[in-house]
Amino acid sequence: RKEVEQDPGPFNVPEGATVAFNCTYSNSASQSFFWYRQDCRKEPKLLMSVYSSGNEDGRFTAQLNRASQYISLLIRDSKLSDSATYLCVVNSEGTYKYIFGTGTRLKVLA
């Protein structure tokens, strides 16, 4: 089993829709969690960190469920510019190693 797993998608949604992605992780000792965004042929960029109590940044909401070992990302009112690949990142075993998921591709359609 991969340490971090994501549905590769693509998720094709119309503009204005709400879409959610999940990411599961296998190591219960994982300490920190992030969502990164990667545009085609570009470097990953931090979208948001994921806090235990959940957090929101504008149209984006991140949640952490430690009991079930997954994190989620909810995007409300999708924009064409949200089209990208969303990478789930987990800090491995409380070390300096970050483990990336393979990403979920989102396409927002006009």
Partner 1 sequence: NAGVTQTPKFQVLKTGQSMTLQCAQDMNHEYMSWYRQDPGMGLRLIHYSVGAGITDQGEVPNGYNVSRSTTEDFPLRLLSAAPSQTSVYFCASSPQGILGTQYFGPGTRLLVL
CB of 96 to partner 1, least distance (A): 4
Of 45 and 59, nearer to partner 1 (C-beta) is 45
Of 18 and 31, nearer to partner 1 (C-beta) is 31
Residue 33's Cβ-count burial label (10 Å; 0-12, 13-18, 19+) is: buried
Using the rule CB under 8 A, is 23 a contact of partner 1?
no
What is the rounded distance in angstroms from the CA atom of residue 102 to the CA atom of residue 17? 24
Using the rule CB under 8 A, is 99 a contact of partner 1?
yes
Among 12, 18, 26, 49, binds partner 1 (CB under 8 A): 49
What is the rounded distance in angstroms from the CA atom of residue 106 to the CA atom of residue 84? 5
Binding site for partner 1 (CB under 8 A): 4, 8, 31-32, 34, 42-46, 49, 87, 91, 94-103
